[in-house]
Amino acid sequence: MRTALTIAVVTALIAPLAPLAHGDLVVEGLDGSITPMQAGWTYFALGNAATASQVFSANRGIISQSTIGLGYAGQGSNYVYRTVQVDHPSSWTLRARVRVSASEQWSFPFGAFIAFGPVGLGLMPTSISPLNGSWVTLPFDGASWHDYRIETTACGRWTVFVDDVVVHEGVNAATSGALDVAFGDGTGGANANAQYDYVEVTVNEGAGADFDGSGVVDGADLATLLGQWGQPGITDLDCSGSTDGGDIGVLLGQWG
């Protein structure tokens, strides 16, 4: 059983990344207008011979992933990735809008996953699994569209938001080095169908308070901080675990 794929014809390509300079804000992402391969992402298949164009397609702004019927044997995975070289410990945010329309589970509950380095989120029709080496599984309606976001401070505190609500927090996330932004099917020995509206990682090299990458720390960044008051995430500049007065002090210290 093979799913017919519709491939959007495009010519746009994303240029390879150069190493980041201190203070750069780098965005690497896909919005579903072209396939990951057309955008220069690298395809990886483990334990099966499914080709990139069999697994990933793009149509009407949605990237579709289908591995059902492509014949896994043993441990299996099919995903795409790009490598971002992060030279200094940096805050970063991974965002995606995803649904998992069908999945089997053999070993890993990742009918779809999004990840930046070892930190990510496994998604299934009835659960989500924050991961950083190991994972926890939370009951959830993953079959419906949701906005997923992982915000990580430069000190490695990471927070998973679903539709802007905190659902998980962890520590010791990777914040520098050669980090792959990746998404795809991570179900070991099983199959899944999923759709991605967009997948995007933003790296704030140097982890300053210039959250929007405008080049200056100003009122817009202060508004971002205040909008996340009391919550963890990239606005927790002093790594206390929540966005509070100490972070305003850090921001004001970088003003202008």
User: Token digits for 124?
Assistant: 């299934």
Per CB under 5 A, which region of 4-12, 29-37, 153-161, 230-238 contacts Ca ion? 230-238
Q: Does 151 bind Ca ion (CB under 5 A)?
A: no
Per CB under 5 A, which region of 154-162, 170-178, 213-221, 226-234 contacts Ca ion? 213-221
Pick between residue 23 and residue 246 the one whose CB is nearest to Ca ion.
246
User: Token digits for 20?
Assistant: 């980041």
Instruction: Count how many residues are written for the chain.
Output: 256
Pick between residue 87 and residue 212 the one whose CB is nearest to Ca ion.
212
Pick between residue 133 and residue 245 the one whose CB is nearest to Ca ion.
245
DSSP code for 45: E
Q: Does 247 bind Ca ion (CB under 5 A)?
A: yes
* Pick from 175, 179, 182: nearest CA to 204: 175
Q: At what angle do helices 245-253 and 219-227 cross, to 10 degrees?
A: 160
Round to the nearest angstrom and report the end-to-end CA distance of the chain: 59
User: Token digits for 208?
Assistant: 């300053």
CB of 240 to Ca ion, least distance (A): 4
Q: Does 240 bind Ca ion (CB under 5 A)?
A: yes
Q: Does 210 bind Ca ion (CB under 5 A)?
A: yes
Sequence-distant (6+) residues with CB within 8 A of 227 are: none
Q: Which residues bind Ca ion (CB under 5 A)?
A: 210, 212, 214, 221, 236, 238, 240, 244, 246-247
